[in-house]
Structure 1
Amino acid sequence: MKLCNRYTAFLLCAAAVCLLWAGCKKGFLDRGPQGSYTTDNYPYPEGAGPYDQYIFACYDVMRSYDVTVMPFVSATSIRSDDADKGSTPSDDGGNIQMDNFTLTPSNGLCNALWLGHFSLIDRANLVLWHIRNDQGLNAPEEAKVQAEAEAKFFRAYAYFMLVRLFGRVPLIDSTFTDPVGQANVPQSPPAAIYALIESDLQFAAANLPLNWEPRFIGRASKGAANGLLAKVYITQQKWAQAMAAAQQVIESGRYNLSTPYAKIFGEDGENSSESILEVQATATLNEKRTRGSQHASVQGVRGTGIWNLGWGFNSPSLLLEAAYETGDPRRERTILYAGGTSVWGEPVPAGLPNPRYNHKILSSPTMRNQILDNFSYWMNIRLLRYADVVLLYAEAANETGNTPEALAKLEMVRKRARGANNAILPQITETDKDLLRNIIRHERRVEMGMEYDRFFDLVRWGIAGPVLQAAGKNFVVGKHELLPIPQTQIDISKGVLTQNFGY
């Protein structure tokens, strides 16, 4: 109980400064920190819930370096054939091992991923502990159920990342009063982890709201739970369940593809009708970094002067560039070329350390000038888009033999991409199941380029070995689908945790 009390004190402080996933125009530089508590509105602001003071800490972790910044970018994108390490040859930080599959258990990025996602699980479990014990809040039952749904959503998200990254991980579904006890929980098989993920997301989908009021835009919703559940099912090749979960998102009426592709990723496209799960970040003249994320900065152009935008990691590969059909405008919005022009009309200098950068994380010069900062901590992180769910539905429909539905959903995405130019991206009419499977996979690659799904897609399709070997990577089938269990964590557990095969 002493540990729980220390957690409570910490989270009360964290809630006072954490950023909610809430949408506001980024030009309002004089706004206060969203989701903050004062003596006037404690224990919770009007319209919020009695458990938000603990739930907000989950959102705070989602913006953290370990969960959605360099370790995340490296493990999900740099490991794939869509990206190279980038930056400069001598700048490493563990990324060379990720890029070349020379990973060792001492890799710091692997340990950061482990710590970050288990921290999110701890925060979610603490919310559930407070719900069970009430702690004098006398909360109505509906508030408890909704808070439980939100906490379980976060726990499911964290475990879905962990099981795909590491395979066997400890299943921790309650708080520990003894930190040593938590360190000594043995690994559970992936099947058990997936069972918890599915159960948590089913509960979240049943009990989260379809929409939050404007002050809480961006909080986990019914659509986010169903969309993530669709991806969980399809990862396990549960085609019918994946199709049904994706259908819940499609039929909700909450999302559409009306936002032009070129607009989705800029500040003016944040929290659009395309957005299902989007980590919110903000900055002001006085708070340039503390309520934001370093996600864009680690990938930003590594240059000088006004083009000193970041570290330059995660450079789009020539293989990704070649994957686009002739004239596909998504390529120019995904890949920023040295010597080219940005989506904002800026001439990009030639002679940069890398010839290509991730265009989707480039902030606008207007915001850089307003904030008087180049490192883009205010840029939101898109984790789940509507087009992603539509393509998951198309994939599952094809696998279940529902060709018309697969083609219809595929066309939705291609139609938005082609816009008014009917000379490009013709409608797909292929009905052979095997050929259509490859077409849908290709469409996922170009639609979702540089958006952190490619490596996981290759693994779940069972083609990571030949594809990544053809890309020149040292990928070993049966080993490199997973990261090594961090040696630091094995040591802390005194050998309770065991290493993945091949490491």
Structure 2
Amino acid sequence: MKNTLLLLVTIFLVTSCEDYLEEQPSTLIDLGYVYNTEEGLKSGIVSLYTFNRDRYETNIQDYMGTVLMSTRADLTFSRSGYTGNMGRYERGVSPIDFGSRFTSPLFWKNFYKIANKATDLINAAEVIEGVDEETKNQIIAEAKFFRAHAYFYLYRMYNNIYVSTTSVTVDNAFDLIQNKSSKEEIFALLNSDLNFAIDHLDWNVDFGRVSKGTAKHVKAKVAMWEGDYEEAKTQALSVIEDAESPFSLVATTADVFKDQRNNSEQLYTVQSQDNVLGGGKGHMMNANYVAQYFQIGGIVPDSEQGGKGFSRVVPNRYLLDLLAEDENDTRDDNTYFRLNFFYNDAAKLPDGKSVGDTIDIYKPISEENPDGVDYKRYYQRLHPSCVKFAQADVEQDTYFQQTNIIVYRLAETYLIAAEALMRTGGDGLPYLNAIRERANATPIEELTLQAIMDENARELSFEGERFFFLKRLGSDVLNYQMRTYAGDGEYYPQYYDGEKDPRVNWQDHYINYPIYQEDLDLLGPNYPQNEGYN
């Protein structure tokens, strides 16, 4: 974007991690230092991690950047707040509404900031003198990974994007981008950047850094979007089976999101802690997903029940039914999702209740309770909740937490391998069943696209990838899922079949997000808005 020059001076007041991230005196932190010294370039790489974390830690509408992509899916019910408006397609559906205004700095501007900064670092590193080739390639590889990561996200979200390998300078800062890049140009750059990253990143890296495995995983995802299933299969199987790969599925679903997420399954984790990769401020991701159970007498927020939440976005009946298909599946057994809450405050127990008793004072609409029992309070205070982003070693009686967030993990690689093998005539069933067996679910006997869609929902829901997964499968699949399953339909009558029903509000052209009008105005006069928003 054209404000890149303004960002160049913001990078480098970051905290260090070992000698690679050594803090420099502020008097040295100028553009000459950044782009003309080895340590400056390394500090610039740290800034990419910081910028990538900014979306999660920017307080726009209860940290909407952490949860937006989960609200816009077929697996969630968006109950309240601005995230509710976005998830019900009441906002974020035109180039000029507040939803698009909020989305702009969180996604469009932020990912372009990452891509432009990565480009500056790549171009500077390629011509710097006095730096050994291995170190130079390591710097370029990390920067190229983040450029690909940023452009790939933008493409999947907005479609009409432009890509560039040219740094913004005084001479070109006011040149207008006249047109979107072609799909061929976009994927050529993605593949070139990721290939370089794969060639020059290491398998084994410090926790929080991207690795060869991270780049291979994203390369597999890119290949799936291209329809190059052979390449997707090659890259995914390499991450899973290469003798040098340090990655493996953790033993149980309870281990996936345990503690700091520093385990053999994580491929890239955003660290939201102090004194790591530029520092961290925290967010409200977990709070958006967890019910307000603590408002009921006899219960206080604790880590076992998910911490303190305000129940903006919850799993819908469709997802809960998928999880319930196998009664032994552990993913709804308080590992990925908490289904029930219990009394834990002995000093304030209701009459006749004991610590450990399940709370059931509200009930959802069902065959047994056709009107429910105060069903709106049920959704607010007792509804099953996603607890993937809860963390035991942080303050529980607060909405605001510093918790690490897994961005890419090996379970998705297994599902990519399964689908890619199925599409190329191979046997993908063992890879999907590895995910099921880890969850103690019965293996399936036939691999179909529907089975992959269902397992994707059970395993990866609320991790921000579901919308993109459905979009990749095509508009027919996306439209059907949204109009059939988004929200909770008749189980929440207040929103059913009216202006707050996402199934009613969904339009075909929502497959691409609108480009915010102010962002579009910074581009050339003929730069195309996404179809349907003009």
Q: Which position in structure 2 is the counterpart of 1:257?
A: 249
Q: Distance in 1 between matches of 2:394 and 2:426?
A: 46
Amino acid at match of 1:452: G
Tell me the distance in 2 between the aligned counterparts of 1:299 and 1:171.
Answer: 34
**Residue number in structure 2 paired with 1:206:** 199
Q: Does 1:96 align with 2:82?
A: no
The corresponding residue for 2:341 is 339
Q: Which amino acid aligns with 1:10?
A: T
Which residue does the alignment assign to 2:140?
148
Number of aligned residues: 451
**Pair 1:470 & 2:490 matched:** no
The residue type equivalent to 2:523 in the other structure is: S
Q: Secondary structure at the match of 2:503?
A: coil
Match of 1:28?
none
Of 444, 448, 452, the match for 1:428: 444
Aligned to 2:234: 244
User: 1:193 Cα deviation (Å)?
Assistant: 1.3
Q: Assess if the C-alpha contact under 8 Å between 1:67 and 1:117 holds in 2.
A: no
Residue aligning to 1:235? 225
- State the match for 1:280 in structure 2: 271
Q: Which whole-Å deviations, capped at 9, do the CAs of 1:92-124 have from their partners, x for residues lacking one?
A: 26x514433651112223312101111111221
After superposition, the C-alpha distances for 1:171-218 in whole angstroms (9 at most, x for unaligned) are 122221248536635311233212211111111111101112xxx322
Q: Is contact 1:459-1:481 (8 Å) kept? A: yes
| 2:513 counterpart of 1:483 | yes
Pair 1:58 & 2:48 matched? yes
Alpha-carbon distance change, 180 to 39 in structure 1, aligned in 2, over 3 angstroms:
closer
Report deviation, 1:283: 4.7
Note the residue ranges of structure 1 that are not aligned, 5 or more in a row. 23-32, 419-424
Q: Does 1:329 align with 2:313?
A: no
Letter in 1 for 2:108: W
Aligned to 1:25: none
Deviations 1:219-249 (A, max 9, x none): 1100000001111111222111100010110
Q: Structure 1 residues 347 and 76, CA, compared in 2 at 3 Å: closer, same or farther?
A: farther
Give the C-alpha shift of residue 59 in structure 1. 0.2
Identity %: 24
Q: Distance in 2 between matches of 1:341 and 1:126?
A: 55
**In the alignment, structure 1 residue 196 sits paired with structure 2 residue 182:** no
Is 2:438 aligned against 1:416? yes
Residues 293 and 378 of structure 1 are in contact (CA less than 8 Å); yes or no, is this contact kept in structure 2?
A: yes
Which residue matches 1:29? none
Which residue identity is paired with 2:412?
Answer: D
Assess, with a 3 A threshold, how the Cα gap between structure 1 residues 481 and 341 changes in structure 2: closer, same or farther: farther
What is the Cα deviation at residue 150 of structure 1? 0.4
1:454-492 deviations in Å (ceiling 9; x for gaps): 111111112001111112524656411110111111123
Distance 1:208 1:293, change over 3 A: farther
Residues 1:222 and 2:212 are matched in the alignment: yes
RMSD: 3.3
- Is the 2:11–2:44 Cα contact (8 Å) retained in structure 1? yes
Preserved CA contact (<8 Å) 2:160 2:528: no
1:176 matched to 2:168? The reply is yes
Determine helix, strand or coil for the equivalent of 1:109: helix
Task: For 2:165, give the aligned amino acid.
Answer: D
Out of 47, 71, 78, the residue aligned to residue 85 of structure 1 is 78
Q: For structure 1, which segment, 246-255 or 112-121, has the greater mean C-alpha deviation from structure 2 after superposition?
A: 246-255
Aligned to 1:27: none
Q: Is the 8 A contact 1:110 1:484 kept in 2?
A: no
1:388 counterpart residue number: 412
Asked if 1:110 corresponds to 2:109, the answer is no
8 Å Cα contact 2:336-2:386 kept in structure 1: yes
Distance (whole Å) between structure 2 residues aligned to residue 475 and residue 239 of structure 1: 34
When Rg is computed on C-alpha atoms for both structures, the one with the higher figure is 2
Kindly indicate whether residue 499 of structure 2 is the aligned counterpart of residue 493 of structure 1.
no
- Unpaired segments ≥5 residues, structure 2: 302-306, 345-354, 362-376, 486-501
Matched residue of 2:439: which SS? helix
Normalising by structure 2, report the TM-score: 0.76
- State the 1:147 CA deviation: 0.7
After the TM superposition, which of the residue ranges 184-193 and 440-449 deviates more from structure 2? 184-193
